[in-house]
Amino acid sequence: MIAPSTTREALLEAAADHLQRVGWASFSFRDLATVVGIRAPSIHHHFPTKGDLGVALVAWMRQRRATHEANLMESFPDPRDRLLALGDLIADHICAQHQSCPIYALQAEFPVLPEAVQQEVSAWIEDAISGLTRWLTEGRARGSLRFPGEPADHALVVWSVLQQGTQLTRTRPGTDFRVLVRQLVAGMTP
């Protein structure tokens, strides 16, 4: 929050990376320590418990997600273009390395997460879905997006595809995330 320690950020980066690859339960402080270049117990200096690290990690990712959302809204006035651009962003950052959204892993292992981490994950999801809801509302008003029912309900559909789609690129070789997003958007084009 205050002091942006380099080691601290390196630990968060490493944790995010491991989370995407092997999930929450399968990475240890030793794994992170090896990557960062310090000894495992030293991590406790930055994050007293693994739960504390988890909370900091998701809070950090919430911040980054908000930044990405703001950037996309500035660069793409039309919500339809914006959705496609988000698809490209995810394809480049996640699918290119055959990883998945870190939040995906945290959802799969939800009950084993410390309660504070669970709350932060739920908050991330709420952020993302309410962001998409605004995009859909705007797109319908502009006439560039068409879908039945309420924007809030359809946002769940859109979000589900984006979330599960990242996973498909690694469990189903040959799947193209961009094609998936375009198929989704095609179904919402007037």
Partner DNA sequence: CGGACGCTACCTATCACAAGGTAGGCTGCA
Partner DNA sequence: TGCAGCCTACCTTGTGATAGGTAGCGTCCG
Residues that bind a copy of itself (CB under 8 A): 21-26, 100, 104-105, 107-112, 118, 121-122, 125-126, 129, 147-149, 153-154, 156-157, 159-161, 163-165, 167-168, 170-172, 175, 179-180, 183-184, 186-189
Other Cβ atoms within 10 Å of 53 Cβ, number? 22
Cβ 67 to DNA shortest distance, Å:
24
Q: Which residue lies nearer to a copy of itself by CB, 14 or 184?
A: 184
Longest CA–CA separation in the chain, Å:
57
Q: Which residue has the tokens 């009950």?
A: 111
Which lies closer to DNA via its Cβ, residue 19 or residue 145?
19
**Positive or negative: CA dihedral 119, 122, 127, 128:** positive
Q: Counting contacts by CB under 7 A, is residue 51 touching DNA?
A: yes
Return the number of the residue (51 or 73) whose C-beta is nearest a copy of itself. 51
- Quick check: 116 binds DNA (CB under 7 A)? no
Q: Which of 15, 19, 20, 29 binds DNA (CB under 7 A)?
A: 29
Kindly report the backbone phi and psi dihedral angles of residue 47, in degrees, each rounded to the nearest multiple of 5, phi listed first.
-135, 105
- CA contacts within 13 A on the Cβ side of 60: 19
- Single residue of 13, 21, 23, 31 touching DNA by CB under 7 A: 31
Stretch that binds DNA, among 36-44, 84-92, 139-147, 161-169 (CB under 7 A): 36-44
Q: What are phi and psi of 125, to 5 degrees?
A: -60, -45
- Which SS3 state, helix, strand or coil, does residue 15 take? helix
Distance CA 111, CA 107 (A): 9
Please answer whether residues 43 and 29 qualify as being in contact, where contact means their C-beta atoms are separated by less than 8 angstroms: yes
What is the closest distance, in whole angstroms, from the C-beta atom of residue 126 to a copy of itself in the complex? Answer: 7
Backbone angles phi, psi at 157, to 5 degrees: -65, -50
56 binds DNA (CB under 7 A): no
Taking CB within 5 to 8 Å according to partner kind, which of a copy of itself, DNA, none is near residue 119? Answer: none
Structure tokens at 80: 């339809």
Residue numbers of the site for DNA (CB under 7 A)? 3, 5, 7, 27-31, 33, 37-42, 44-46, 48-51
